[in-house]
Amino acid sequence: MPEIAEIFRDHHEEYFRRNNAPPEVIRAIFDIEKCCTPAMGGSILCTCPDCGHQEIRYQSCGNRNCPKCGGHKVTQWVQKRLAERLPVDYFMATFTLPHEFNFLFRQHPAEAVKIFMKCVSDSLLEIGKSKLHGMVGFMMVYQSWCRNGDFHPHIHALLPCGALSADSNIWHFPKRRDFLFPEAPLMRLFRGKFNAAIWQLTGAEKIRRNVFRKEYVVNLKCVGDGENSFKYLAAYTQRGFIGNDRIVKYDGVEVTFRYRDGETNADRYRTVSAVEFMELYLQHVLPKGVQRIRYGGIWAAAARKRLNTAKEILIARSVPEMPEITVKLEDLTASSFIRDERFRCPKCGAEMLYRRQRTGFG
């Protein structure tokens, strides 16, 4: 099966000729190319428990953009988030900007993402205080791609149903448990904050005035107890927009990959040149220090005591506590939330067991 690392090794020189790559992209390219190869060192003897086949495995690169790394981190992240859940329904809010702003996220990725997340955070806190008379809690995840790999900045925010009062004594539910607050006022609030803040970035003056009056897309829907949403968002915490399992064909010149159509849920295929594939993949690499995930309200690190207080209040009101769930990597991959990149036996497909460390290479 073709791998992304193979494509990068074959075409990175042409990519560098065509693109002025920043340091984080250069680092991602070479880390992905070296991952689990002798260049990384740390060789380990692995044995198949089913057929007895043995192979040497080299250490992984650990780069957050690598398609082979991060599976265990994703599992741990989901486990922690599920343990923090409040025993209420959750809502997913999605904030999408007009495409005219895309060039600012390319030119100033760190600053643009920071502004985007702050405006979403401030909007949720403000409308929560206005409509629910308390402090909401939320987790925001920044995503820069759509399913076919094109550049499409947007933010998913996951919120529990309700808000904690200022004195931390009452959990305020909305009048309807399936309706947190109206989308239109939230959209206008967010649009006003974002339009005012984006002028900090050089180049914003090039955007046509009518763009700032557009209806920005803000969608809010109930997603049940939140378990599936946490698993869905986990896919964005590590790795790039595509994994090796979705590379259908690579002939040395062109790459064909598979993606899921958001409307029909049917598989679609896209074929691009190898260098164009690299450009698709690497345009989503964020600068060092820029995090895709942030927490706000009672979910913020500084207010984590309030999250525990909210859980105690809800349990005291006879709201059943969420059952404890143990998350395994196979649970996530079976639901197609993340990709299974574990080392499997090339002979029979069983998961290889790590036996002992070796010295040297080969």
Q: What is the pLDDT of residue 332?
A: 45
Q: Angle at the Cα of 105 (from 102 to 106), degrees rounded to 5?
A: 90
In a domain, 270, yes or no: no
pLDDT at position 319: 56
In a domain, 152, yes or no: yes
Residue 278 falls inside a structural domain: no
Residue 169: pLDDT band with limits 50, 70, 90: very high
| Residue closest to 295 by CA, chosen among 135, 76, 138, 155 | 138
> With bands split at pLDDT 50, 70 and 90, how would you rate the model's confidence at 354?
confident
**Domain-embedded: residue 29:** yes
The answer to whether position 246 is within a domain reads no
CA 246 – CA 260 distance, rounded (Å): 10
- The Cα 293–Cα 315 span in angstroms is 28
- Mean pLDDT estimate for the chain: 88
Residue 322 has a pLDDT of: 55
Q: Is 2 exposed, middle or buried (0-12, 13-18, 19+ CB in 10 A)?
A: middle
What is the per-residue pLDDT for 358?
53
- Residues 15 and 157 grouped into a single domain: no
Residue-wise pLDDT for 262-290, tens only, equals: 888 899 999 999 999 999 999 999 999 99
The answer to whether residue 15 scores a pLDDT higher than 60 is yes
pLDDT digits (tens, 9 = 90+) for 183-200: 999 999 999 999 999 998
Question: What confidence score (pLDDT) does residue 146 get?
Answer: 92
pLDDT tens by residue, 134-162: 999 999 999 999 999 999 999 999 999 99
pLDDT given at position 156:
97
Q: Which residue has the higher pLDDT, 308 or 46?
A: 308
Q: 353: domain range?
A: 4-64+340-357
98/158 same-domain check: yes
Are residues 18 and 138 located together in one domain of the fold? Answer: no
Q: What are phi and psi of 297, to 5 degrees?
A: 65, -140
Check residue 316 and give its pLDDT.
Answer: 87
Residue 267 lies in a domain: no
Q: Is residue 264 part of a domain?
A: no
Q: Does 56 lie in the same domain as 39? A: yes
The residue ranking higher by pLDDT, 72 or 175, is: 175
| Backbone angles phi and psi of 247, in degrees to 5 | -80, 110
Least confident of 117-131, 222-236, 240-254: 222-236
Backbone angles phi, psi at 229, to 5 degrees: -70, -40
Give yes or no for residue 357 having a pLDDT over 80: no
In the chain, beta strands by DSSP E = 44-47, 54-57, 90-96, 137-145, 151-160, 163-164, 171-172, 217-222, 247-250, 254-260, 267-273, 293-297, 353-357
Residue pair 119/190 in contact (Cβ under 8 Å)? The answer is: yes
What percent of the chain lies above the pLDDT cut of 90?
63
Q: Once rounded to an integer, what is the mean pLDDT over residues 222-236?
A: 87
| pLDDT value of residue 6 | 97
- Do 307 and 212 lie in one domain? The reply is yes
Q: What is the per-residue pLDDT for 241?
A: 86
pLDDT category of residue 323 using cuts at 50, 70 and 90: low
Question: What local confidence, expressed as pLDDT, does residue 336 receive?
Answer: 40
In a domain, 123, yes or no: yes
Highest mean pLDDT among 23-32, 226-235, 295-304: 23-32
Same domain, 155 and 201: yes
pLDDT for res 326: 53
Residues 75 and 128 in one domain: yes
The total number of structural domains that make up the chain? 2
Residues 167 and 27 in one domain: no
pLDDT band with cut points at 50, 70 and 90 for residue 27: very high
Same domain, 157 and 82: yes
Where do the H-state alpha helices sit in 133-273? 183-197, 227-234
* Residue 41: per-residue pLDDT: 79
Same domain, 201 and 308: yes
Do 294 and 183 fall within a single domain?
A: yes
| Judgement on whether residues 112 and 228 belong to the same structural domain of the protein | yes
Highest mean pLDDT among 50-59, 68-77, 212-221, 337-346: 212-221
The answer, yes or no, to whether residue 359 has pLDDT greater than 50, is no
Q: Which one is predicted more confidently, 187 or 304?
A: 187
